[in-house]
């Protein structure tokens, strides 16, 4: 499958900084104490290419494989099959240290992702010390610089995480991720533990930093309004597969996959009088150990037919991405025709 590479507005940025080719991760899971180990495919043949400076929003329900994908990108898990390329180089061939200079994470919970016994200076300067960059004097300078960039006063250097608010801690986490000047930042639900007024500050900061340093983000979130705001491309994941991927406007204005449509429908905008939408999705998220036959989404899909039960859909190119659904396969029996 070859999802169309995004046509970037600037030709010099066309080469993808991050590329996944058929990445698959299979775990062997034991069921019960004496049960036989069975394969669980957490990430199933995922191909994505992300040009420099873009933000790929990755959405999907819990258990769909978003975090496994993030772990593979960070080098914390190795894929069972497929390749991950950063700047055209496969990451399996690079050691962890080299990879850490290029890809850095920001995690969801700023309360548990910072070591409570270390001062903010220790936390933020640790990457420099691990990578043996500079000396004590330059660490001090670098930490001051990065704290200023993320909007924290230099005096917090000697404080501890427990003395800071959630928003400040998340700024520390961002400072720690950026001090190595990475190219790619993996943001795993970076604002979902924060209050709305703090969330908007962090989102603004992430947007500013991207423009200033030309960063590329993989932005994992379950809040579609936030993804629409920050992302330039969006990938929708269901049971380990990217079922739809498109440029942000295309995805939000013309969602093609019934699952994407249901996700968009379930966004609750603050408009009174509209009531709670009926997503028409069945309740049950399927067990990934025992994925449904054919199209994995068919048990919950309002448009599913017998054909969907039997046959898995293929990836079909769309103007700026791809979709996996029989409704959009012109050679299949369920084609609904070309839409706008």
229 binds other proteins (CB under 8 A): yes
59 to 102, 221, 293, 297, 314: CA distances (angstroms): 23, 6, 23, 15, 20
Q: Any residues with CB less than 8 A from the CB of 94 and at least 6 apart, and which?
A: 86
With respect to other proteins, which residue has the nearer C-beta, 107 or 139?
107
Q: How far is the CB of 41 from other proteins (least distance, A)?
A: 19
Q: Which residues pair with 103 in a beta bridge?
A: 184
277 binds other proteins (CB under 8 A): yes
35 binds other proteins (CB under 8 A): no
Q: How far is the CB of 241 from other proteins (least distance, A)?
A: 17
136-144, 171-179, 246-254, 331-339 -> range binding other proteins (CB under 8 A): 246-254
d(CA 143, CA 124): 7
Q: Among 272, 330, 333, 337, which residue sits at the site for other proteins (rule: CB under 8 A)?
A: 272
Q: Among 40, 85, 133, 203, which residue sits at the site for other proteins (rule: CB under 8 A)?
A: 203
Comparing C-alpha atoms, which of 213, 153, 149 is closest to residue 185? 213
Q: Any residues with CB less than 8 A from the CB of 267 and at least 6 apart, and which?
A: 224, 225
Binding-site size, other proteins (CB under 8 A): 46
303 binds other proteins (CB under 8 A): no
Q: Phi, psi (5° rounding) for residue 224?
A: -70, -30
Other residues' Cβ atoms within 10 Å of the Cβ of residue 287: 11
5-13, 73-81, 128-136, 277-285 -> range binding other proteins (CB under 8 A): 277-285
62 binds other proteins (CB under 8 A): yes
CA 106 to chain centre: 11
With respect to other proteins, which residue has the nearer C-beta, 88 or 340?
340
331 binds other proteins (CB under 8 A): no
- Please count the residues of the chain: 340
Q: Among 40, 265, 299, 303, which residue sits at the site for other proteins (rule: CB under 8 A)?
A: 265
d(CA 10, CA 202): 27
112 binds other proteins (CB under 8 A): no
With respect to other proteins, which residue has the nearer C-beta, 212 or 271?
271
302 binds other proteins (CB under 8 A): no
**N-to-C CA span, the chain:** 24
Q: Residues 80, 26: contact at Cβ < 8 Å?
A: yes
Q: Among 101, 131, 222, 254, which residue sits at the site for other proteins (rule: CB under 8 A)?
A: 222
d(CA 280, CA 258): 10
With respect to other proteins, which residue has the nearer C-beta, 270 or 337?
270
With respect to other proteins, which residue has the nearer C-beta, 158 or 204?
204
Q: Any residues with CB less than 8 A from the CB of 303 and at least 6 apart, and which?
A: 258, 327
Q: Residues 20, 63: contact at Cβ < 8 Å?
A: no
With respect to other proteins, which residue has the nearer C-beta, 136 or 284?
284
197 binds other proteins (CB under 8 A): yes
14-22, 154-162, 264-272, 320-328 -> range binding other proteins (CB under 8 A): 264-272
Comparing C-alpha atoms, which of 262, 236, 263 is closest to residue 321? 236
With respect to other proteins, which residue has the nearer C-beta, 78 or 112?
112
Token pair recorded at residue 44: 């199933």
The site for other proteins (CB under 8 A) is made up of: 61-63, 165-166, 195-197, 199-201, 203-204, 207, 222-226, 228-230, 248-249, 252, 262-263, 265-279, 281, 283-285
């Amino acid at each position: 499958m070859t999802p169309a590479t995004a046509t970037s507005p600037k030709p010099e940025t066309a080469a993808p900084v991050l590329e996944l080719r058929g990445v698959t991760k299979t775990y062997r899971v034991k069921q019960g104490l004496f049960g036989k180990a069975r394969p669980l495919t957490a990430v199933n043949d995922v191909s994505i290419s992300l040009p420099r400076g873009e933000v790929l929003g990755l959405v999907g329900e819990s258990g769909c494989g978003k975090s496994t994908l993030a772990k593979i990108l960070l080098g914390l898990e190795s894929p069972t099959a497929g390749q991950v390329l950063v700047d055209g180089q496969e990451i399996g061939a690079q050691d962890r240290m080299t990879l850490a200079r290029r890809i850095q994470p920001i995690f969801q919970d700023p309360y548990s992702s910072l070591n409570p016994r270390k001062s903010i200076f220790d936390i933020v300067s640790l990457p420099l010390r691990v990578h043996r960059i500079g000396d004590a004097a330059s660490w001090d300078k670098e930490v001051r610089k990065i704290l200023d960039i993320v909007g924290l006063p230099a005096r917090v250097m000697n404080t501890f995480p427990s003395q800071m608010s959630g928003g400040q801690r998340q700024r520390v986490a961002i400072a720690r991720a950026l001090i190595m000047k990475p190219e790619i930042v993996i943001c795993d639900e970076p604002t979902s533990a924060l209050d709305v007024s703090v969330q908007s500050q962090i989102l603004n900061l992430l947007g500013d930093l991207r423009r200033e340093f030309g960063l590329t983000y993989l932005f994992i979130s379950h809040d579609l309004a936030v993804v629409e705001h920050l992302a330039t491309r969006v990938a929708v994941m269901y049971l380990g597969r990217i079922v739809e991927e498109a440029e942000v406007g295309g995805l939000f204005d013309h969602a093609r996959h019934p699952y994407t449509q249901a996700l968009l429908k379930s966004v609750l905008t603050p408009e009174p009088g509209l009531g709670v939408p009926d997503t028409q999705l069945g309740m049950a998220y399927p067990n990934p150990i025992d994925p449904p036959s054919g199209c994995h989404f068919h048990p919950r899909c309002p448009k599913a037919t017998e054909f969907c039960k039997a046959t898995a859909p293929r990836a079909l190119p769309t103007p700026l991405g791809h979709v996996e659904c029989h409704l959009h396969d012109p050679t299949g029996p369920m084609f609904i025709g070309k839409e706008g």
